Structure 1
């Protein structure tokens, strides 16, 4: 069964908008675990506009499911990951001023960088996933860098899904098949939602994990957080039937 890792960045955005500690990010993460999520994802950025480095440290102390830390491997990020030692780190090539992640790595052009960073994390027993566009050659490049998994950047799938679901998912199936040939684990994330998640899993049932934040937190405004986590888990299960 594909695991659900909930990205809690948007909860931190609400907290930071007023100062103080409402909503409590740590309490929210613990509740999300209790509601059935298989992991928690965070993506700290240098400007601390949502998740802060201290949030990551505090989460590691209390979480009982997997912690996945996403980010661009700048020196401060690398130091944080080596200190916290999460179950998984996802390397994402986002610029400091990016609103959200908007592209995967060119794993061939950045092979030396990614290989060196991956080796450092492996020394601490941290699983490494590399964020890539749905291109088989980038998946193969991630394997050459020593990655354990790739995370397919699913923004294009989500954007094109309503118009033509089969066409939207086709590049992802090809990239996922390459990951399987390469012996890589497979994650997916970005703009997956209640509307498109089951179809994605149905086409790529060997997906190990989906990381979902923005859509899930938006849905929680209407359905409540506990019910929303259950709804996303249901869509994952529906995709396997």
Structure 2
């Protein structure tokens, strides 16, 4: 959850973009303006916004926001919040079933589902919650996407629950070997990931990559361009 404390950073980024000679129509300016608009919104007066209220809003597909972004500086508190958010969401979805899909996205996943978990730093809490989500969430239309640069540091029980991998550059042999063994991919194909450039990916999946689930190399659209299109379309509909 971001607030107006990042406004000076956004102003500085905007000035740097202008000084670099970028056009005003550049997607980076649209992105910065969207963030400025978001952080300038004053919170409603009333009760404190806690995890329980967030869960209710997440599950409210009609009136709740479509996107929640949570960022906390303290990793131990972040792990505790992730565990509580997932557990409460699953418990409430079981009681009030709905087919509306919900996607949890965990960036820097090695912080939340590490190979070596401990109760003292809340990593055991978050790892167990994410593993439960991946094991049982699909039947309740609750899904997860985890992002990391080091597969070697992740809980192997969690990795076994993932059905689809989007693979960018993998310079470390262990990470390539892990993917190769999981999906039965040849070393020759995995070695090609060393030379992947920005926006290029290898898709491997148990059930989502063509008819025979073969590995597929592809190039993804520029995220800033897609974001700019989405913001422009939203402005036109207002």
TM-score (norm 2): 0.37
TM-score (norm 1): 0.37
Which is bigger in relative contact order (C-alpha 8 A, separation at least 6)?
Answer: 1
Greater strand content = 1
